[in-house]
A and B are shown apart, each in its own frame.
Chain A
Protein backbone atom coordinates (compact mmCIF):
# COMPACT_ATOMS: atom_id res chain seq x y z
CA UNK A 1 0.00 0.00 0.00
CA UNK A 2 1.19 3.51 -0.68
CA UNK A 3 0.16 7.08 0.03
CA UNK A 4 -2.78 8.60 -1.83
CA UNK A 5 -1.80 11.57 -4.02
CA UNK A 6 -3.33 14.31 -1.81
CA UNK A 7 -1.71 13.08 1.41
CA UNK A 8 1.63 12.60 -0.32
CA UNK A 9 1.40 16.12 -1.74
CA UNK A 10 0.50 17.79 1.56
CA UNK A 11 3.18 15.94 3.51
CA UNK A 12 5.71 17.09 0.93
CA UNK A 13 4.67 20.72 0.49
CA UNK A 14 3.16 21.95 3.77
CA UNK A 15 6.33 21.69 5.89
CA UNK A 16 8.09 23.98 3.41
CA UNK A 17 5.28 26.50 3.56
CA UNK A 18 5.23 26.41 7.37
CA UNK A 19 9.00 26.98 7.52
CA UNK A 20 8.73 29.82 5.00
CA UNK A 21 6.12 31.52 7.21
CA UNK A 22 8.20 30.97 10.34
CA UNK A 23 11.22 32.51 8.66
CA UNK A 24 9.66 35.25 6.58
CA UNK A 25 6.08 35.61 7.76
CA UNK A 26 6.65 39.32 8.33
CA UNK A 27 7.42 39.96 4.66
CA UNK A 28 4.87 37.47 3.38
CA UNK A 29 2.08 39.05 5.37
CA UNK A 30 3.08 42.59 4.44
CA UNK A 31 3.25 41.76 0.74
CA UNK A 32 0.43 39.25 0.57
CA UNK A 33 -1.57 41.47 -1.78
CA UNK A 34 1.11 41.00 -4.40
CA UNK A 35 2.51 37.47 -4.31
CA UNK A 36 -0.84 35.78 -3.59
CA UNK A 37 -2.23 36.92 -6.93
CA UNK A 38 0.87 35.72 -8.73
CA UNK A 39 0.61 32.28 -7.09
CA UNK A 40 -3.12 32.06 -7.87
CA UNK A 41 -2.56 33.17 -11.45
CA UNK A 42 0.18 30.58 -11.93
CA UNK A 43 -2.06 27.90 -10.41
CA UNK A 44 -4.86 28.77 -12.83
CA UNK A 45 -2.50 28.83 -15.80
CA UNK A 46 -0.85 25.51 -14.96
CA UNK A 47 -4.21 23.88 -14.29
CA UNK A 48 -5.36 24.84 -17.78
CA UNK A 49 -2.07 23.58 -19.24
CA UNK A 50 -2.49 20.38 -17.23
CA UNK A 51 -5.91 19.83 -18.79
CA UNK A 52 -4.25 19.98 -22.21
CA UNK A 53 -1.52 17.54 -21.17
CA UNK A 54 -4.02 15.07 -19.71
CA UNK A 55 -6.26 15.29 -22.78
CA UNK A 56 -3.19 14.77 -24.96
CA UNK A 57 -2.43 11.65 -22.91
CA UNK A 58 1.04 12.84 -21.91
CA UNK A 59 0.52 11.78 -18.28
CA UNK A 60 -2.25 10.08 -16.38
CA UNK A 61 -3.13 9.14 -12.83
CA UNK A 62 -3.96 6.07 -10.83
CA UNK A 63 -7.59 6.88 -10.09
CA UNK A 64 -7.55 4.67 -6.97
CA UNK A 65 -5.10 7.13 -5.38
CA UNK A 66 -7.25 10.17 -6.10
CA UNK A 67 -10.05 11.75 -4.07
CA UNK A 68 -12.28 11.56 -7.12
CA UNK A 69 -12.97 15.29 -7.44
CA UNK A 70 -12.29 16.49 -10.97
CA UNK A 71 -12.25 19.82 -12.74
CA UNK A 72 -12.91 18.58 -16.24
CA UNK A 73 -10.02 16.21 -16.94
CA UNK A 74 -7.91 17.58 -14.06
CA UNK A 75 -7.93 15.87 -10.63
CA UNK A 76 -8.29 18.34 -7.75
CA UNK A 77 -4.91 17.09 -6.46
CA UNK A 78 -3.25 18.62 -9.52
CA UNK A 79 -4.81 22.02 -8.80
CA UNK A 80 -3.36 21.83 -5.28
CA UNK A 81 -0.03 20.67 -6.68
CA UNK A 82 0.25 23.78 -8.85
CA UNK A 83 -1.04 26.04 -6.10
CA UNK A 84 1.47 24.71 -3.58
CA UNK A 85 4.49 24.58 -5.90
CA UNK A 86 3.79 28.10 -7.19
CA UNK A 87 3.32 29.30 -3.60
CA UNK A 88 6.59 27.71 -2.43
CA UNK A 89 8.51 29.30 -5.30
CA UNK A 90 6.93 32.74 -5.11
CA UNK A 91 7.17 32.89 -1.30
CA UNK A 92 10.75 31.69 -1.44
CA UNK A 93 11.64 34.50 -3.79
CA UNK A 94 9.83 37.15 -1.74
CA UNK A 95 11.52 36.03 1.49
CA UNK A 96 15.06 35.86 0.10
CA UNK A 97 14.65 39.21 -1.63
CA UNK A 98 13.29 40.99 1.45
CA UNK A 99 15.49 39.13 3.88
CA UNK A 100 18.52 40.42 2.01
CA UNK A 101 17.54 44.03 1.83
CA UNK A 102 15.49 45.27 4.73
Chain B
Protein backbone atom coordinates (compact mmCIF):
# COMPACT_ATOMS: atom_id res chain seq x y z
CA UNK B 1 0.00 0.00 0.00
CA UNK B 2 1.27 3.50 -0.85
CA UNK B 3 0.81 6.56 1.33
CA UNK B 4 -1.79 7.84 -1.16
CA UNK B 5 -3.68 4.53 -0.93
CA UNK B 6 -3.57 4.78 2.84
CA UNK B 7 -5.05 8.28 2.72
CA UNK B 8 -7.78 7.13 0.38
CA UNK B 9 -8.77 4.16 2.52
CA UNK B 10 -8.39 5.46 6.06
CA UNK B 11 -9.14 9.17 5.71
CA UNK B 12 -10.92 10.07 2.49
CA UNK B 13 -13.32 7.11 2.59
CA UNK B 14 -14.66 7.70 6.14
CA UNK B 15 -14.83 11.42 5.42
CA UNK B 16 -16.84 10.77 2.26
CA UNK B 17 -19.21 8.51 4.22
CA UNK B 18 -19.70 11.21 6.86
CA UNK B 19 -20.34 13.83 4.19
CA UNK B 20 -22.83 11.53 2.44
CA UNK B 21 -24.72 11.02 5.73
CA UNK B 22 -24.71 14.68 6.79
CA UNK B 23 -25.20 16.26 3.35
CA UNK B 24 -27.27 19.43 3.83
CA UNK B 25 -26.34 19.75 7.48
CA UNK B 26 -22.85 20.63 6.26
CA UNK B 27 -24.14 23.62 4.31
CA UNK B 28 -23.89 25.67 7.44
CA UNK B 29 -21.88 28.85 7.26
CA UNK B 30 -20.51 28.63 10.78
CA UNK B 31 -19.42 25.01 10.35
CA UNK B 32 -17.72 25.80 7.03
CA UNK B 33 -15.93 28.84 8.46
CA UNK B 34 -14.76 27.11 11.61
CA UNK B 35 -13.57 23.99 9.82
CA UNK B 36 -11.64 26.06 7.25
CA UNK B 37 -9.92 28.15 9.88
CA UNK B 38 -9.10 25.21 12.18
CA UNK B 39 -7.78 23.09 9.31
CA UNK B 40 -5.56 25.92 8.13
CA UNK B 41 -4.26 26.49 11.67
CA UNK B 42 -3.60 22.74 12.06
CA UNK B 43 -1.65 22.70 8.80
CA UNK B 44 0.43 25.75 9.73
CA UNK B 45 1.11 24.40 13.22
CA UNK B 46 2.00 20.91 12.04
CA UNK B 47 4.37 21.85 9.21
CA UNK B 48 7.36 23.24 11.15
CA UNK B 49 7.07 20.49 13.75
CA UNK B 50 6.99 17.77 11.14
CA UNK B 51 9.81 19.49 9.26
CA UNK B 52 12.17 19.30 12.23
CA UNK B 53 11.19 15.72 13.00
CA UNK B 54 11.92 14.85 9.38
CA UNK B 55 15.34 16.51 9.23
CA UNK B 56 16.28 14.99 12.61
CA UNK B 57 15.15 11.61 11.32
CA UNK B 58 12.63 10.97 14.12
CA UNK B 59 10.53 9.42 11.38
CA UNK B 60 10.92 8.94 7.67
CA UNK B 61 8.95 7.81 4.66
CA UNK B 62 9.96 5.23 2.12
CA UNK B 63 10.36 6.66 -1.34
CA UNK B 64 8.65 3.85 -3.19
CA UNK B 65 5.52 4.27 -1.00
CA UNK B 66 5.26 8.01 -1.53
CA UNK B 67 5.14 10.18 -4.64
CA UNK B 68 8.82 10.79 -4.04
CA UNK B 69 8.37 14.55 -3.69
CA UNK B 70 9.43 16.47 -0.59
CA UNK B 71 8.13 19.90 0.26
CA UNK B 72 10.26 21.37 3.05
CA UNK B 73 11.49 17.82 3.77
CA UNK B 74 7.90 16.54 4.07
CA UNK B 75 6.02 14.47 1.47
CA UNK B 76 2.86 16.19 0.14
CA UNK B 77 0.89 13.19 1.37
CA UNK B 78 1.77 14.19 4.93
CA UNK B 79 0.18 17.63 4.46
CA UNK B 80 -2.87 15.87 3.08
CA UNK B 81 -2.93 13.60 6.12
CA UNK B 82 -2.99 16.66 8.35
CA UNK B 83 -5.77 18.32 6.37
CA UNK B 84 -7.87 15.15 6.16
CA UNK B 85 -7.39 14.33 9.84
CA UNK B 86 -8.61 17.83 10.73
CA UNK B 87 -11.60 17.59 8.39
CA UNK B 88 -12.52 14.15 9.72
CA UNK B 89 -12.15 15.01 13.41
CA UNK B 90 -14.08 18.29 13.14
CA UNK B 91 -16.85 16.92 10.93
CA UNK B 92 -17.33 13.98 13.26
CA UNK B 93 -17.52 16.32 16.25
CA UNK B 94 -19.96 18.56 14.39
CA UNK B 95 -22.12 15.54 13.53
CA UNK B 96 -22.25 14.34 17.14
CA UNK B 97 -22.75 17.78 18.69
CA UNK B 98 -25.49 18.95 16.33
CA UNK B 99 -27.29 15.62 16.51
CA UNK B 100 -27.72 16.19 20.23
CA UNK B 101 -28.84 19.78 19.67
CA UNK B 102 -31.43 18.81 17.08
CA UNK B 103 -32.81 16.12 19.35
CA UNK B 104 -33.06 18.46 22.34
CA UNK B 105 -34.68 21.10 20.15
CA UNK B 106 -37.29 18.58 19.07
CA UNK B 107 -37.91 17.57 22.66
CA UNK B 108 -38.37 21.17 23.67
CA UNK B 109 -40.71 21.74 20.75
CA UNK B 110 -42.76 18.65 21.55
CA UNK B 111 -43.02 19.21 25.25
CA UNK B 112 -43.60 22.93 25.57
CA UNK B 113 -45.06 24.21 22.32
CA UNK B 114 -48.25 23.38 20.45
CA UNK B 115 -47.61 21.94 17.01
CA UNK B 116 -48.39 25.06 15.02
CA UNK B 117 -47.35 27.62 17.53
CA UNK B 118 -47.26 31.13 16.05
CA UNK B 119 -44.99 32.18 18.90
CA UNK B 120 -41.34 32.00 17.93
CA UNK B 121 -39.34 29.81 20.24
CA UNK B 122 -36.92 31.78 22.33
CA UNK B 123 -34.65 28.89 23.17
CA UNK B 124 -31.03 29.82 22.58
CA UNK B 125 -30.24 26.55 20.84
CA UNK B 126 -33.05 26.96 18.38
CA UNK B 127 -31.99 30.52 17.62
CA UNK B 128 -28.51 29.32 16.92
CA UNK B 129 -29.60 26.65 14.46
CA UNK B 130 -31.87 29.06 12.63
CA UNK B 131 -29.29 31.80 12.37
CA UNK B 132 -26.54 29.60 11.07
Contacts and interface: CB of A to CB of B under 8 A. Distances in A.
A52 B10 contact: yes
B89 A59 contact: no
Interface in B68-105: 85-86, 88-90, 92-94, 96-97, 100
Main secondary structure of the interface of B (DSSP, over half): helix
Interface string A1-39: 011010010001000100000000000000000110010
A35 B93 contact: yes
A42 B85 CA distance: 9
Contacts of B66: 58
A52 B1 contact: yes
Contacts of B100: 34
Pick the most buried of A8, A38, A62, A93: most chain B CB atoms within 10 A of its CB: A93
B1 A94 contact: no
A89 B85 contact: yes
B30 to A, nearest CB: 7
B6 A52 contact: yes
Interface residues of A, number: 35
A34 B59 contact: no
A102 B38 contact: no
Given A34-B97, A49-B10, A60 B60 contact: yes
Contacts of A56: 1, 6, 65
A86 B59 contact: no
Interface string A63-102: 0010000000000000000000110111011101100111
Interface of B: 1-3, 6, 10, 30, 34-35, 37-38, 41-42, 45, 49, 52-53, 56-62, 65-66, 85-86, 88-90, 92-94, 96-97, 100, 124, 128
Interface of A: 2-3, 5, 8, 12, 16, 34-35, 38, 42, 46, 49, 52-53, 56-62, 65, 85-86, 88-90, 92-94, 96-97, 100-102
